[in-house]
């Protein structure tokens, strides 16, 4: 049986990192007895240019019918002044919402081999193994908003944050379930000293985690968490947090690995899963063949694990990435003298050869 994968390269470095990743996904799948069929679809700026909208119905329909979606990145300066509802980023938000992908898993792992590349001291980051569970279809991202408008001579704008008890409960459950297979620690991150949504979040997290006696839940304010992530990152196991806090904390956590180009993600819900690196379209380096494809390649590994149940194939990719890093190959973002600097496609070729 063929498994259908919708591929959305998107914009900027999106095309380069997806092109680098597909042969690796294909080979890992094939070696483990899976036959993948790809359908390439447009979304983001590329879809605005072709159809005048960021998320064409055809892309959404294809994604709904697929076994999984692999996405590069969307956005760029070319579309920064389009109407808010037509922005490229709307494609990602639309896919997440329409596919019901409420749980975003962003693993942050620092092996001894990449620890020296972090901007933090190696002894602070070596052995970091954090899973950030980000709520993905609620909060201020999806609340009502008012674009800048003038009222009584003053221009103002607003964005509303709403969380319901069931929305918090289901994401905290995901975090607790994940913690059961790990060190059993969940840190719920909020701003309950100020925000009403956070007070509901905290209460619901406590009630939900009570159903997981083997999981130790603690609460932390987001400002403190931002600090602890760079002060003592090894103190964390699973972090669960809201959509906006999760967005910000995961970019911060990425530097523990040395580069945002290293971090993969899986967005899961009831239906098709979506897999993408956590970084954006990196307009500053697009078209140069220097982007780090590892975050996307590790996202393909997550696709194999979570959407196709192919754990061995996922591990094969993860081991191949590790082996190439151990051999001293680095993309520009992680390059240091003494290492071998490689392009996007060269890095992918080396990983492919290890499979």
The answer to whether 283 is annotated as binding is yes
Q: Binding partner of residue 282 among ligand NAD, ligand IPM, Mn ion, none, CB under 5 to 8 Å per kind?
A: ligand NAD
Query: Interior CA angle at 300 toward 295 and 303, to 5°?
Result: 125
**161-220 positions binding ligand NAD, by CB under 6 A:** none
Stretch that binds Mn ion, among 52-60, 153-161, 229-237, 241-249 (CB under 5 A): 241-249
Query: Phi/psi class of residue 173: alpha, beta or left (left: φ > 0; alpha: ψ in -120 to 50)?
Result: alpha
Give the three-class secondary structure for 217. Answer: strand
Q: Minimum distance from CB of 98 to ligand NAD (Å)? A: 16
**From 47-55, 134-142, 233-241, 279-287, span contacting ligand NAD (CB under 6 A):** 279-287
Q: Is 159 a catalytic residue?
A: no
Name the 3-class secondary structure at 300: helix
Contact 63, 103 (CB under 8 A): no
Near ligand NAD in 34-73, by CB under 6 A: 73
Of positions 215, 217, 280, 342, contacts ligand NAD by CB under 6 A: 280
Any catalytic annotation for residue 311? no
Query: Which two structure tokens, joined as six digits, stand for 164?
Result: 């319901």
Active-site residue 333, yes or no? no
Give catalytic status of residue 237 as yes or no. Answer: no
Q: With binding defined as CB under 6 A, does residue 94 bind ligand NAD?
A: no
**Nearest-5° Cα angle at 147, 145 to 151:** 110
Select which of 141, 163, 306, 329 is catalytic. Answer: 141
- Please, which contacts does 231-234 make with residues 24 or more away whose CB atoms are closer than 8 Å? 231/124, 232/124, 233/108, 233/110, 233/120, 233/124, 233/125, 233/128, 233/130, 234/124, 234/125, 234/127, 234/128
| 64, 99 Cβ separation under 8 angstroms | yes
Q: Which of 43, 60, 68, 74 binds ligand NAD (CB under 6 A)?
A: 74
Active-site residue, from 247, 335, 341, 354: 247
Among Mn ion, ligand IPM, ligand NAD, none, what binds residue 54 when CB lies within 5 to 8 Å by partner kind?
none
State both tokens at 19: 């092109």
Q: What is the dihedral of CA 227, 228, 229, 230, to 10 degrees?
A: 70
Q: Which of 190, 191, 237, 333 is catalytic?
A: 191
Give the residue among 47, 49, 1, 78 at the shortest CA–CA distance from 287.
Answer: 78
Q: Which single residue brings its beta carbon nearest to Mn ion?
A: 247
* CB of 155 vs ligand NAD, minimal distance in Å: 24
Q: What is the DSSP letter of 214?
A: T
Residues that bind ligand IPM (CB under 6 A): 75, 89, 92-93, 247, 278, 280
* 28 forms part of the interface with ligand NAD (CB under 6 A): no
**Choice between 34 and 291, CB closer to ligand IPM:** 291
**What does 204 bind: ligand IPM, ligand NAD, Mn ion, none (CB cut-off 5 to 8 Å by kind)?**
none
Which listed residue (159, 223, 311, 327) is catalytic? 223
Residue 121 is a catalytic residue = no
Closest CA to 28 of 322, 308, 325: 308
21 binds ligand NAD (CB under 6 A): no
288 backbone dihedrals φ, ψ, rounded to 5°: -100, -5
CB atoms within 10 A of CB 183: 14
Residues that bind ligand NAD (CB under 6 A): 13, 73-76, 89, 92, 259-261, 276, 279-285, 291-292, 295, 333
Annotated binding site: 76-89, 96, 106, 134, 223, 247, 251, 280-292
Residues taking part in catalysis: 141, 191, 223, 247, 251
């Amino acid at each position: 049986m063929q498994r259908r994968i919708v591929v959305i390269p998107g914009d900027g470095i999106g095309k380069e990192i997806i092109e680098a990743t597909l042969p690796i996904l294909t080979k890992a799948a094939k070696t483990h007895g899976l036959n993948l069929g790809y359908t390439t679809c447009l979304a983001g700026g590329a879809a605005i240019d072709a159809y005048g909208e960021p998320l064409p119905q055809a892309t959404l329909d294809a994604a709904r019918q697929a076994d999984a979606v692999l996405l590069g990145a969307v956005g760029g300066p070319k579309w920064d002044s389009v109407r808010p509802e037509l922005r490229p980023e709307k494609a990602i938000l639309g896919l997440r919402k329409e596919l019901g992908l409420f749980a975003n898993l962003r693993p942050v792992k620092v092996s001894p081999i990449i620890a020296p590349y972090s901007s933090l001291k190696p002894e602070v980051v070596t052995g970091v193994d954090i899973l950030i569970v980000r709520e993905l279809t609620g909060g201020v991202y999806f609340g009502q908003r008012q674009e800048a408008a003038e009222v009584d001579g003053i221009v103002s704008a607003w964005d509303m944050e709403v969380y319901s008890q069931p929305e918090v409960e289901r994401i905290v459950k995901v975090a607790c379930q994940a913690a059961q297979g790990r060190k059993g620690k969940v840190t719920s991150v909020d701003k309950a000293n100020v925000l009403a949504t956070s007070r509901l979040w905290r209460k619901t997290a406590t009630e939900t985690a009570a159903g997981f006696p083997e999981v130790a839940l603690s609460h932390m304010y987001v400002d403190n968490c931002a600090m602890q992530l760079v002060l003592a990152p090894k103190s964390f196991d699973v972090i669960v947090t809201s959509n906006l806090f999760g967005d910000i904390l995961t970019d911060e956590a990425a530097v523990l690995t040395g580069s945002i180009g290293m971090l993969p993600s899986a967005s899961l819900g009831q239906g098709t899963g979506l897999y993408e690196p956590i970084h954006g379209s990196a307009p500053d380096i697009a078209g140069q063949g220097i982007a780090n494809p590892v975050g996307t390649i590790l996202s393909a590994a997550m696709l194999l694990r979570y959407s196709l149940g192919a754990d061995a194939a996922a591990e094969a990719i993860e081991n191949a990435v590790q082996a190439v890093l151990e051999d001293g190959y680095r993309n520009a973002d992680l390059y240091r003298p003494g290492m071998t600097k490689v392009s996007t496609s060269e890095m992918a070729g080396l990983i492919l050869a290890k499979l």
